């Protein structure tokens, strides 16, 4: 009896130890972190800055692209569906959120129709982000010949990577038209941000040589998931210049280059000479990012940030964010809460020249844990459009003052302190 008790204790100890190890593997940073603040960078328009962004951080900057900003679901979904329905050879689609609802059914039906028409359709869904998806939607696609895969599904060989999700939002049609941005496939993104049930977001339609880089970013996770290499003219056709915008598709993943997205943001902020505008659905900067923003404000750069207000899908993120606002507000950085609905936009505009848009949030999860993708555009015309969009959103915000922040009640401070314990996972 005593021996049986000892064996039981050993088994329990082994099980608990194994679980702790698995948790530690999921919460530990995948690679060595950037440890020092970037203290110098050439100005954003300097040729040296462009060289470093091309060579040091990722794919080269390619000229000749056209990038169209789409506002909210009423512009985003019709453009995406139009492109899908016109596909002739291939569709590649990767997303984090795919839930059930009207737009979920419409997208599934459009993808299925093209597959029945002989188009090669490949869909990569994050397992966690698509857990709410009805089986009937999957059946609609699979029965029509769509190749649907889940990223890091719940299997024993993925246990150590369950905290690594693909947060990318990518759609490429015939290798010629690309889409990226913040939108997920769910009814919350429908409409025009007219009420708290319809979110504010942006997505981008892209033509030109940079679409090949978007396709390559999709292929990165497709190969990891399936082992299949999709190649040929159906996926990588010859692309002629569509406009004059220089751009690059920037990506990061814990399985390779997890710190590169944060490094890109830090370099862009260090390059700022006059202005930084940030749209952030989730704004929980770590010490390096805080220091970079404070340094920018200290050298006279105007820094403005728009974040969600009371309408947010993750209160813990808001509390962890608010805990850090004191130093930023004291430094003169303007923080505005968007009041009408959930604010899901993600954008960085530096000096009216560099614009970074895509799936990346300003937090540790995007910088270190998720697979992310952002399109960097180096163009004053596009930056002017994005600045105008920022100003329009600003008209629907409430600016937070340092005095207001300082006067928040003790209960709020307690929530912030608790939420801050988990900020490396937010």
pLDDT of residue 2: 52
- Average the pLDDT over 192-221 and give the result: 97
pLDDT of residue 369: 87
Catalytic, out of 126, 174, 220, 286: 174
pLDDT of residue 290: 95
CATH 3.20.20.80 at 32-56+249-425, yes or no: no
Q: Which residue has the tokens 């844990």?
A: 369
Per residue in 240-277, pLDDT tens? 999 889 999 999 888 766 578 889 999 999 999 999 99
More confident: 126 or 423? 126
Task: Give the E-state strand segments of 213-371 in sequence order.
Answer: 245-252, 275-280, 283-284, 302-308, 334-338, 346-350, 354-358, 362-363
pLDDT bucket at 105, cuts 50 / 70 / 90: very high
Task: Give the E-state strand segments of 183-340 in sequence order.
Answer: 202-207, 245-252, 275-280, 283-284, 302-308, 334-338
Q: Which residue has the tokens 């990223």?
A: 151
Does residue 224 have an active-site annotation? no
CA 265 from centre of chain: 13
DSSP codes joined into one string, 73-84 = HHHHHHHHHHHH
Does residue 363 have an active-site annotation? no
pLDDT of residue 17: 40
- Helices and strands, counts by H and E, the chain: 14, 17
Residues in the chain: 426
Token reading at 81: 């569906």
| Across 16-25, 97-106, 327-336, least confident range | 16-25
Catalytic, out of 152, 167, 336, 423: 167
pLDDT of residue 123: 98
pLDDT bucket at 18, cuts 50 / 70 / 90: very low
Model confidence, pTM: 0.90
pLDDT bucket at 173, cuts 50 / 70 / 90: very high
| Across 124-133, 300-309, 362-371, least confident range | 362-371
Whether residue 69 has pLDDT greater than 70: yes
Give the CA angle between residues 153, 426, 412 to the nearest 5°.
140
More confident: 90 or 32? 90
What are the extents of the domains in the chain?
Answer: 32-56+249-425, 62-246
Does residue 174 have an active-site annotation? yes
| Across 35-44, 236-245, 312-321, 387-396, least confident range | 35-44
* CA–CA distance, 288 with 8 (Å, rounded to integer): 47
Does residue 344 have an active-site annotation? yes
* CA–CA distance, 426 with 422 (Å, rounded to integer): 7
CATH number of 62-246: 3.30.870.10
Whether residue 14 has pLDDT greater than 80: no
Does residue 423 have an active-site annotation? no
Whether residue 335 has pLDDT greater than 50: yes
Whether residue 22 has pLDDT greater than 50: no
Catalytic, out of 201, 346, 363, 423: 346
Nearest to 285 by CA among 170, 208, 226, 368: 368
* CA–CA distance, 138 with 5 (Å, rounded to integer): 48
* CA–CA distance, 92 with 363 (Å, rounded to integer): 27
Contact assessment for residue 219 and residue 124, using Cβ atoms and an 8 Å cutoff = no
Neighbours of 141 (CB within 10 A): 20
Does residue 169 have an active-site annotation? yes
Per residue in 127-163, pLDDT tens? 999 999 999 999 999 999 999 999 988 765 555 455 6
pLDDT bucket at 185, cuts 50 / 70 / 90: very high
């Amino acid at each position: 009896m005593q021996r049986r008790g000892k064996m039981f204790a050993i088994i329990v100890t082994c099980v608990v130890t194994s679980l702790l190890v698995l948790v530690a593997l999921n919460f530990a940073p995948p690679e060595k972190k950037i440890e020092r603040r970037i203290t110098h960078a050439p100005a954003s328009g300097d040729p040296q800055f462009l060289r470093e962004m091309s060579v040091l951080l990722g794919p080269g900057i390619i000229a000749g692209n056209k990038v169209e900003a789409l506002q909210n679901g009423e512009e985003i979904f019709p453009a995406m569906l139009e492109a899908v329905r016109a596909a002739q050879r291939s569709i590649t689609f990767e997303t984090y959120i795919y839930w059930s609802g009207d737009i979920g059914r419409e997208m599934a039906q459009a993808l299925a129709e093209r597959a029945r028409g002989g188009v090669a359709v490949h869909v990569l869904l994050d397992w966690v982000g698509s857990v709410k998806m009805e089986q009937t939607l999957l059946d609609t696609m699979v029965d029509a010949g769509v190749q649907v895969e889940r990223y890091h599904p719940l299997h024993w060989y993925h246990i150590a990577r369950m905290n690594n999700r693909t947060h990318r939002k990518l759609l490429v049609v015939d290798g010629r038209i690309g889409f990226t941005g913040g939108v997920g496939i769910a009814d919350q993104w429908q409409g025009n941000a007219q009420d708290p049930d319809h979110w504010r977001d942006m997505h981008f339609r892209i033509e030109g040589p940079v679409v090949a880089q978007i396709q390559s970013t999709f292929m990165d996770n497709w190969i990891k998931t399936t082992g299949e290499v999709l190649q040929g003219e159906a996926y990588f056709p010859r692309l002629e210049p569509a406009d004059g915008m220089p751009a690059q598709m920037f990506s990061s993943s814990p399985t390779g280059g997890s710190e590169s997205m944060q490094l890109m943001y830090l370099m862009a902020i260090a390059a700022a000479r006059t202005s930084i505008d940030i749209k952030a659905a989730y704004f929980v900067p770590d010490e390096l990012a805080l220091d970079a923003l404070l340094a920018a404000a200290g050298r006279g750069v105007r820094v403005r940030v728009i974040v969600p207000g009371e309408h947010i899908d993750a209160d813990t993120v808001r509390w962890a964010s608010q805990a850090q606002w004191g130093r930023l507000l004291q430094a003169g950085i303007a923080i505005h809460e968007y009041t009408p609905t959930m604010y899901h936009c993600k954008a960085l505009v530096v000096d009216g020249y560099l614009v970074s848009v895509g799936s990346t949030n300003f937090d540790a999860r995007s910088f270190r844990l998720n697979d992310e993708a952002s399109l960097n555009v180096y163009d004053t015309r596009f930056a002017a459009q994005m600045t105008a969009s920022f100003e329009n959103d600003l008209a629907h915000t409430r600016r937070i003052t340092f005095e207001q922040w300082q006067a928040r009640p003790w209960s709020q401070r307690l929530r912030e302190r608790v939420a801050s314990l988990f900020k490396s996972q937010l």
